[in-house]
Chain A
């Protein structure tokens, strides 16, 4: 049952997003050197943090899948990584816009977060092709879990390495999250909360949809056992095991 607290969660998400955006535009002071453009920070950085946590969460679900053999953990891992990847696209797009606004170039190599994200995105973009190229569903789930765990371990290492590569040549140019004055810090934390809630809500939403699909399939099998499964397009995406 994935849809249990979905309504309350969605309401909480909506409230926190509106609050976060309001704080960003009406409460947080304008940044001294970057001006209005710095407001993108309240969107870009929370998305980045949540996406990274999403990838690591996907790795943890994968560990659970390998340990218990329960396919539902694999679906949780798949959805987590899928959502984090979409957030990752958002991170790259908003980061690029920020770079253009602050520095005039659509891409900068000096910002370690953005560069790490590019690498991670390129890596996780292989997740779905890998899954879809293995036909046996159980093997597919196992291999995908190995991939998720390996890449989950890779995420922090990648950050360290890219940070090191930049550390002594260029200072962090697009603003640091370290020493924020009070109002900015509050706005940032609320934005972070909002983004986290959004991710969890969308994850639950997607899991519920997959459960509905699985239940429908199971119902169809019970009512029409001789019929070929689900007429029409069969997606290659993994689905919850139905009873």
Chain B
């Protein structure tokens, strides 16, 4: 199964590198959203829980864009049928797509988070390692749930509408824990460390949904 996963993953990444669609759009969307927030909130710099909120809302909404596009090519150009004909474990498609989405999210955040620090953040982030850790954990959750919802919505006629409607409520626990977790990191003098329960809860969420998606994804691909 690992070879099948690697093969599909390589295809995804190669496609994205050749004609970049998702990642530039998501990155541009994030930066534009920061500008929008500047005008909407009428602030030049923010910190603490407000900064945390703005950052995570932007990242989540940008992720919605990426999720919506994840399966579109497969659906329109028969990629599903091609995959189904191959004698491989169907879950490898899930792992490959989720990993690709994770890669896109990380790529976008490499651009978006420094942009955020530059444009909107007042204090400089105190504990960059913890911030990266929380981002990574949350990205994993977003990737898992996003891939599942993307595959679920792709077969319906209203797929662009359904993806944010289903994915956003599902991702609220991640949002809660990530926002609460990063708040002390984005505060002036927020020297106290991130409370352990936030990353732990996100990790639990990732585990549960990883298992659910693993168990259930096959049924989405049957013809």
Which segment of A145-153, A189-197, A199-207, A223-231 sits at the interface?
A145-153
* Cβ-defined contact, A146 with B152, below 8 A: yes
Shortest distance in angstroms between A115's beta carbon and chain B's nearest beta carbon? 10
Which segment of A76-84, A98-106, A161-169 sits at the interface?
A161-169
Report if A146-B219 is in contact (Cβ < 8 Å); known contacts: A129-B158, A164-B177.
yes
Chain A neighbourhood of B197, CB < 8 A: 164
* Cβ-defined contact, A149 with B216, below 8 A: yes
Is B13 interfacial (CB 8 A cutoff)? no
* Cβ-defined contact, B170 with A123, below 8 A: yes
Point out the residue from A119, A130, A135, A165 that lies within 8 Å of B152, measured CB to CB. A130
Number of A-B pairs whose CB atoms are under 8 Å?
Answer: 88
Is B172 interfacial (CB 8 A cutoff)? yes
Chain A neighbourhood of B153, CB < 8 A: 130
Is A209 interfacial (CB 8 A cutoff)? no
A161 and B205 CA atoms in complex are apart in Å by 9
Chain A neighbourhood of B42, CB < 8 A: none
Is A143 interfacial (CB 8 A cutoff)? yes
A164 and B205 CA atoms in complex are apart in Å by 13
Q: How many residues of A contact B (CB 8 A)?
A: 29
A110 and B69 CA atoms in complex are apart in Å by 37
* Cβ-defined contact, A143 with B155, below 8 A: yes
* Cβ-defined contact, B208 with A153, below 8 A: yes
Beta-carbon contacts of A130-145 to B below 8 Å, as 1s and 0s?
1001110001001101
Report if A160-B152 is in contact (Cβ < 8 Å); known contacts: A133-B158, A150-B216, A165-B180.
no
* Cβ-defined contact, B220 with A142, below 8 A: yes
Q: How many residues of B contact A (CB 8 A)?
A: 32
Point out the residue from B148, B166, B205 that lies within 8 Å of A130, measured CB to CB. B166
* Cβ-defined contact, B208 with A145, below 8 A: no
A161 and B138 CA atoms in complex are apart in Å by 14
Is A154 interfacial (CB 8 A cutoff)? yes
Is B157 interfacial (CB 8 A cutoff)? yes
* Cβ-defined contact, B172 with A161, below 8 A: yes
Beta-carbon contacts of B46-68 to A below 8 Å, as 1s and 0s?
00000000000000000000000
* Cβ-defined contact, A143 with B180, below 8 A: no
Is A219 interfacial (CB 8 A cutoff)? no
* Cβ-defined contact, A123 with B162, below 8 A: no
Is B126 interfacial (CB 8 A cutoff)? no
Is B173 interfacial (CB 8 A cutoff)? yes
* Cβ-defined contact, A66 with B219, below 8 A: yes
Chain A neighbourhood of B156, CB < 8 A: 130, 133-134, 143
Chain A neighbourhood of B193, CB < 8 A: none
Chain B neighbourhood of A157, CB < 8 A: 173, 204-205, 208
Report if A154-B155 is in contact (Cβ < 8 Å); known contacts: A161-B201, A164-B176, A164-B201.
no
* Cβ-defined contact, A119 with B201, below 8 A: no
Task: List 16 other contacts, CB 8 Å, given A150-B148, A160-B201.
Answer: A66-B216, A120-B169, A129-B158, A133-B156, A133-B158, A142-B220, A143-B220, A146-B219, A149-B216, A151-B170, A154-B170, A157-B205, A158-B173, A160-B173, A161-B176, A162-B176
- Seen from chain B, the residues whose Cβ lies within 8 Å of a Cβ on chain A are 148, 152-153, 155-158, 161-162, 165-166, 169-170, 172-173, 176-177, 180, 197-198, 201, 204-205, 208-209, 212-213, 215-216, 219-220, 222
Cβ contacts A to B, 7 pairs, < 8 Å: A119-B172, A126-B162, A133-B157, A139-B155, A150-B209, A160-B204, A161-B172
